[in-house]
Amino acid sequence: EAQVTQNPRYLITVTGKKLTVTCSQNMNHEYMSWYRQDPGLGLRQIYYSMNVEATDKGDVPEGYKVSRKEKRNFPLILESPSPNQTSLYFCASSLKVHYEQYFGPGTRLTVT
Partner 1 sequence: GDSVTQMEGPVTLSEEAFLTINCTYTATGYPSLFWYVQYPGEGLQLLLKATKADDKGSNKGFEATYRKETTSFHLEKGSVQVSDSAVYFCALHNAGNNRKLIWGLGTSLAVNP
- Minimum CB distance to partner 1, residue 80 (Å): 26
How many CB atoms are closer than 10 A to CB 51?
Answer: 12
Indicate whether 69 belongs to the interface with partner 1 (CB under 8 A): no
Interface residues for partner 1 in 18-57 (CB under 8 A)?
33, 40-43, 45, 48, 50, 56
Of 100, 105, 99, the residue nearest 21 (C-alpha): 105
**Rounded to an integer, what distance in angstroms lies between the CA atom of residue 112 and that of residue 102?**
30
Q: In angstroms, rounded to a whole number, what is the distance separating the alpha carbons of residues 55 and 51?
A: 8
Residues interacting with partner 1, by CB under 8 A? 4, 33, 40-43, 45, 48, 50, 56, 58, 90, 92, 97-98, 100-106
